[in-house]
Amino acid sequence: MIKSRPHIKGTLLKHLTLTMRNSEDLPTMVKSLLRAFRRLRQRAYFKQCISGGAFVVELTNKGNQWHAHIHAVIQSHRVEWEKLRNLWKICSKGNTGVFIQNIPPVEAVRYLTKYVSKSELPEDLQQIASDALKGFRLFNPFGSWYAINLEYKPEPSRCPKCDAIASYLPWDFIMGNWKMPYY
């Protein structure tokens, strides 16, 4: 996806993190986070600066408090942090956690896959987190990157377990779904 992104003059890849206040109610927090991010992407300033990207949701827990945030790689022109933070505050109903910085393409790939495969939650909380994320995609392209995702056809590769040749997605290797090729 990073290699196939549209080349738009004056854009760079950036790492964007958006956070919500801690809460005990994880399912509501996840829904609010995703709803707020959808509202943010519909804003004129966001559309003007950001052509596309992809994001994942990360969940952490400290005691009885959950913390949900979005990690995104975006392709954008210059983004004014203060304007973006003010828009996030409006869209997320008071949250101001916004971090943005330029990121090289090789780091963009590492950044997204790190959060898709990361699980630092204790075993007793993993089912709660899984239930809260049920029905949501774990990896979400948006804007001009959405079409790249629809057109993507993985190249055939060898299964590390049985040596069969088929097309596997990175998620298959992470989850160990070796016998489920995508042709």
Please check the confidence at residue 145 and state whether its pLDDT lies above 60.
yes
Q: Is residue 5 part of a domain?
A: no
Strand order from edge to edge, sheet including 65-76: 97-102, 12-19, 65-76, 50-62, 140-143
For residue 145, what are the domain limits? 12-152
Residue 33 burial (CB < 10 Å; 0-12/13-18/19+)?
Answer: buried
Q: Are residues 177 and 148 in the same domain?
A: no
> Same domain for 77 and 24?
yes
Q: Are residues 126 and 101 in the same domain?
A: yes
Q: pLDDT digit string (tens) for 18-75?
A: 999 999 999 999 999 999 999 999 999 999 999 999 999 988 898 889 999 999 999 9
pLDDT digits (tens, 9 = 90+) for 123-136: 888 888 888 888 88
Residue position matching structure tokens 């994880």 = 26
